[in-house]
């Protein structure tokens, strides 16, 4: 196994348009604030470009495996054949859940949101298994177990037996096998693998920032990941794709698209799968996922594409100058549906991918750590006269 990188690497080239300035701080939501130095991934909002350690996402999306990508994120370089085989062996060796974690999953009612199951089971696993400073071995152990937790819960709630992982299968293939009990098709494995590659890291998004804040306190890696799962769950971040699917179901037909979208916007609702804090053009991951969704499900794609076109036109009409474009979540929903995942596993499957990025950020943070502790502008009163309880 290669040695984990020991520093944050060379200073990435700066794209002047994408350098945030503190003058944007008053917009709230920490917009434009540089919260960390990272060599892991870079999001160029105006160019619509995403790179993992210098490689454009367009070069990686269909040609690499999720295992190659996590190697790149953790160790700083794409693996050679030997390094990849070693990583496969590590993943295979880690694909088990302790009986206590299975008991925790069993105790949760079948209606529990899978994201809550994942957060709870990861925390339970950490309580049993993780001590001390974060290591790359812990990152591998955590990443290997995410699909097992979700598949175990899915098997229990559908009355099926929990299956053993198959060491010869890739991460994506093993996940699909554990969920369905069947040999997954090549198309499904490729589709899910590309999704996992595309979502593995994305600059200083809310959940990654959360993971780094916890790591900066010198807490353990599982605490960082449990906190990140909490942040990912929200509909403004990773909770959007199942809501995109709900929206497409509710719309139902091309004819119903415009009236449905207009009335949603008239009610002040946000259209899920559109808009982004950083991208001021199309999200490059959406471009990749759109093409994959088109190939995977040509029939369903017709509705998704028409709704997308109408939504973009409406957003332009009603929010002129806002520059709201399709984001990654819109076609994530279509792709995950096409590989057979149920809607409530969309966000947890995002986590199956992003845990690679989160753990890479935790390792990077602790290699060059300073406690993350921002300031706040206090807006309360300054000098109140104290009155004891008996006199209030
Ligand atoms: C992702 C998101 C939270 C980023 O938002 P942000 O940078 O914080 O932008 P703001 O929330 O400040 O929104 C700016 C304006 O655009 C509007 N807007 C942004 N996204 C919108 C959307 N999807 N639908 C309708 N209006 C939207 C806001 O209402 C706001 O308009 P206003 O100033 O007239 O009130 C936002 O675009 C959103 O809620 N999208 C839908 C959820 C989603 O797809 N999430 C997945 C993100 S990958």
Q: What is the pLDDT of residues 235-288, one digit of tens each?
A: 899 988 888 999 999 999 999 999 999 999 999 999 999 999 999 999 999 999
Q: What is the pLDDT of residues 49-85, one digit of tens each?
A: 999 999 999 999 999 999 999 999 999 999 999 999 9
Residue 275 Cα, ligand 1 centroid: separation in angstroms? 5
pLDDT of the residue at 321: 85
Would the CB of 311 count as within 6 Å of ligand 1? no
Would the CB of 324 count as within 6 Å of ligand 1? yes
* Alpha-carbon dihedral 61, 192, 337, 356, rounded to 10 degrees: -90
Q: What is the pLDDT of residues 296-335, one digit of tens each?
A: 888 889 999 999 999 999 999 998 888 899 999 999 999 9
Would the CB of 126 count as within 6 Å of ligand 1? no
Atom 8 in ligand 1: residue holding the nearest Cα: 277
The widest CA-to-CA distance across the chain, in whole angstroms, is 76
Q: How far apart are CA 139 and CA 133, in angstroms?
A: 11
Q: What is the DSSP letter of 274?
A: B
Q: Tell me how far the alpha carbon of residue 122 is from its chain's centroid.
A: 16
Atom from ligand 1 closest to the CA of residue 327:
48
Q: Which of 270, 282, 327 to mutate to test the pocket of ligand 1 (most atoms within 8 A of CB)?
A: 270
Atom 39 in ligand 1: residue holding the nearest Cα: 236
Atom 29 in ligand 1: residue holding the nearest Cα: 270
- pLDDT for residue 16 is more than 60: no
Would the CB of 322 count as within 6 Å of ligand 1? yes
Residue 60 Cα, ligand 1 centroid: separation in angstroms? 28
Helices and strands, counts by H and E, the chain:
16, 3
Atom 37 in ligand 1: residue holding the nearest Cα: 275
- pLDDT for residue 101 is more than 60: yes
Q: Which residue has the tokens 């995410």?
A: 146
The C-alpha angle 350, 310, 243, rounded to 5 degrees, equals: 30
pTM value > 0.75: yes
pLDDT of the residue at 24: 45
DSSP β-ladder status, 41-44 and 55-56: unpaired
Which of 154, 171, 276, 337 is the catalytic position? 276
Q: Which residue has the tokens 């899978």?
A: 114
Task: Tell me, yes or no, if 67 is annotated catalytic.
Answer: no
Q: What is the pLDDT of residues 115-135, one digit of tens each?
A: 999 999 999 999 999 989 999
Q: Quick one: average pLDDT of 192-211?
A: 97
Residue 278 Cα, ligand 1 centroid: separation in angstroms? 11
Q: What is the pLDDT of residues 214-223, one digit of tens each?
A: 999 999 999 9
Instruction: Please name the residues in contact with 383: beta carbons below 8 A apart, sequence gap of 6 or more.
Output: none
Would the CB of 43 count as within 6 Å of ligand 1? no
Residue 361 Cα, ligand 1 centroid: separation in angstroms? 26
In three state form, how does the secondary structure of 195-221 look? Answer: HHHHCCCECECHHHHHHHHHHHCCCCH
Q: How far apart are CA 321 and CA 24, in angstroms?
A: 18
Q: Quick one: average pLDDT of 38-45?
A: 97
14/98: higher pLDDT: 98
Residue 266 in tokens? 């008239």
> Could you tell me the pLDDT band of residue 186, with boundaries at 50, 70 and 90?
very high
Which of 329, 337, 361, 364 is the catalytic position? 329
Instruction: Please name the residues in contact with 183: beta carbons below 8 A apart, sequence gap of 6 or more.
Output: 177
Q: How far apart are CA 79 and CA 72, in angstroms?
A: 7
- pLDDT for residue 11 is more than 50: no
Q: Around Cβ 13, how many Cβ atoms within 10 Å? A: 7
* Contact between 215 and 362 (Cβ < 8 Å): yes
Average pLDDT, the chain: 92
Q: How far apart are CA 257 and CA 273, in angstroms?
A: 15
- pLDDT for residue 19 is more than 70: no
Q: How far apart are CA 139 and CA 75, in angstroms?
A: 11
pLDDT of the residue at 322: 84
Q: What is the DSSP letter of 326?
A: B
Residue 276 Cα, ligand 1 centroid: separation in angstroms? 7
Q: Which of 275, 285, 313, 319 to mutate to test the pocket of ligand 1 (most atoms within 8 A of CB)?
A: 275
Atom from ligand 1 closest to the CA of residue 275:
37
Task: Tell me, yes or no, if 183 is annotated catalytic.
Answer: no
Ranking 102-106, 114-118, 161-165, 291-295 by mean pLDDT, the lowest is 291-295
Residue 122 in tokens? 């990861």
pLDDT of the residue at 26: 59
Burial 247-262 (b: 16+ CB within 10 A, else e): bbeebeeeeebbebbe
Q: Is 186 helix (H, G, I), strand (E, B) or coil?
A: helix
Would the CB of 229 count as within 6 Å of ligand 1? no
pLDDT of the residue at 297: 87
> Could you tell me the pLDDT band of residue 37, with boundaries at 50, 70 and 90?
very high
Atom 24 in ligand 1: residue holding the nearest Cα: 270
pLDDT of the residue at 212: 98
pLDDT of the residue at 12: 39
Would the CB of 326 count as within 6 Å of ligand 1? no
């Amino acid at each position: 196994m290669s040695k984990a990188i020991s520093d944050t690497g060379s200073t990435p080239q700066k794209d002047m348009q994408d350098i945030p300035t503190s003058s944007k701080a008053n917009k709230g939501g920490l917009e434009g604030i540089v919260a960390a130095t990272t060599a892991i991934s870079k999001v160029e909002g105006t160019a619509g470009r995403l790179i993992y350690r210098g490689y454009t996402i367009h070069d990686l999306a269909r040609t690499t495996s999720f295992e190659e990508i996590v190697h790149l994120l953790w160790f700083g370089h794409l693996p050679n054949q030997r390094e990849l085989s070693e990583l496969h062996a590590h993943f295979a060796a880690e694909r088990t859940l302790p009986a206590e974690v299975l008991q925790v999953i069993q105790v949760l009612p079948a209606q529990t949101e899978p994201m809550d199951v994942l957060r709870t089971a990861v925390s339970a696993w950490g309580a049993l298994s993780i001590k001390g400073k974060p290591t790359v071995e812990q990152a591998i152990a955590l990443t290997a177990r995410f699909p097992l937790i979700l598949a175990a819960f899915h098997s229990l709630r559908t009355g099926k037996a929990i299956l053993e992982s198959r060491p010869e299968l890739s991460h994506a293939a093993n996940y699909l096998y554990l969920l369905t009990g069947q040999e997954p098709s090549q198309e499904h494995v490729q589709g899910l693998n590309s999704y996992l590659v595309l979502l593995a890291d994305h600059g200083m998004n809310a959940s990654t920032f959360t993971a780094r804040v916890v790591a900066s306190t010198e807490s353990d890696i599982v605490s960082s990941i449990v906190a990140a799962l909490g942040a990912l769950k929200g509909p403004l971040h990773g909770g959007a794709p199942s809501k995109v699917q709900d929206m497409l179901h509710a719309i139902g037909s091309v004819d119903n698209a415009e009236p449905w979208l207009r009335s949603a916007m008239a009610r002040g609702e946000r259209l899920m799968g559109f808009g982004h804090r950083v991208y001021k053009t199309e999200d490059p991951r959406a471009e990749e996922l759109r093409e994959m969704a088109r190939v995977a499900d040509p029939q369903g794609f017709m509705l998704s594409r028409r709704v997308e076109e109408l939504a973009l036109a409406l957003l332009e009409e009603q929010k002129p100058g806002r520059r709201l474009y399709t984001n990654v979540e819109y076609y994530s929903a279509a792709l995950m549906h096409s590989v057979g995942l149920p809607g409530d596993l969309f966000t947890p499957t995002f986590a199956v991918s992003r845990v690679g990025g989160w753990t890479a950020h935790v390792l990077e943070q602790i290699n060059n750590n300073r406690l993350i502790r921002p300031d706040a502008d206090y807006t309360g009163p300054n000098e109140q006269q104290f009155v004891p309880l008996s006199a209030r």
